[in-house]
Amino acid sequence: MLTSEQLYTYARKYCIDQYNYWTEQYSKIQSNRGFSLQYSKRESQTFPRYLILNALQVGVESLDSNNLPDVPELLEKLEQIALECSDDAVENLVNEIELEAVEAERSKFVMYIRNLPQRDLQYIVPLPYKYYFDLESTTIFSQMCHRWSVDNSYDYYPLEHKPISNQETLLQFEFLDQNGRNILKKFFKGKKIKRVLVYCRYGNSYAADPLHESFSGEEVYWFDQTLEWMICSSYENAIAVCGHQLLNYLRNHLGHYSNLLYL
């Protein structure tokens, strides 16, 4: 019998797989595209599909997989998300062909979750945890800003913020090239940190499994409930790292650490 977790996972995986499919299709079209200021009919039938699938994925992941309702209610919520989800990119679509493509993808999603193949249910594997929510309005977000001197502009060093104690800023590309992402994940695994909070200045904020985070982006903050550490990926090829234990771990595990410092 279908469980809520299985239904949620199927819905989420569908969005991810279909998004990847349609972005690949659009890339193929673009690779053979001549110069034109207008979208072709084929382009207009294609790119809106991955736009709405992205919005749909965010909508599905706005349901907390640790607190799902029973299957009938979850199915109703997913159908409502399919009918109502949107974002700025989707809202900017006005061409009739583009809008038809969006509605087609909404309908395909609903048909999919209504007709899941029972024979495949036992093989579905839960995806890494991810839960979109309004992080900025929470107390823990305010506490993080106070703890690590993040002002209302959310610009962090080296933009408009002076360095504070227990904070160093590294060259982001060089840090990632030096296996920095995996070293961070080893730190989180060793500390048994299973959830991080992620504030995205230019996108939707969420909670996630740190072992599946990229630790890159523009004005993105990672922290957890302890507030013992914070990471900010910003402009100017910079990644700010805060917290005594995390900094010591990076110093001990990154080769040529001093060469990675942002000066």
For 46-60, the pLDDT digits (tens) are: 999 999 999 999 999
Q: Which contacts qualify for 177-180: CB closer than 8 Å, 24 or more apart?
A: 178/254, 178/255, 178/256, 178/260, 179/254, 180/215, 180/239, 180/250, 180/254
> What backbone phi and psi angles, to 5 degrees, belong to 152?
-70, -15
How many helices (H) and strands (E) the chain has is answered by 10, 7
Residues in CB range of 225: below 8 A, 6 or more apart: 140, 195, 197
State the pLDDT at residue 180. 94
Q: pLDDT class for 161, splitting at 50, 70, 90?
A: low
Q: Are 231 and 243 in contact (CB under 8 A)?
A: no
Q: What is the pTM of this model?
A: 0.90
Q: Is 214 helix (H, G, I), strand (E, B) or coil?
A: coil
Q: Are 217 and 161 in contact (CB under 8 A)?
A: no
State the pLDDT at residue 158. 53
Look-up of token digits 């989180």? 188
Residue 117 or 138, more confident? 138
Average pLDDT over residues 80-106: 97
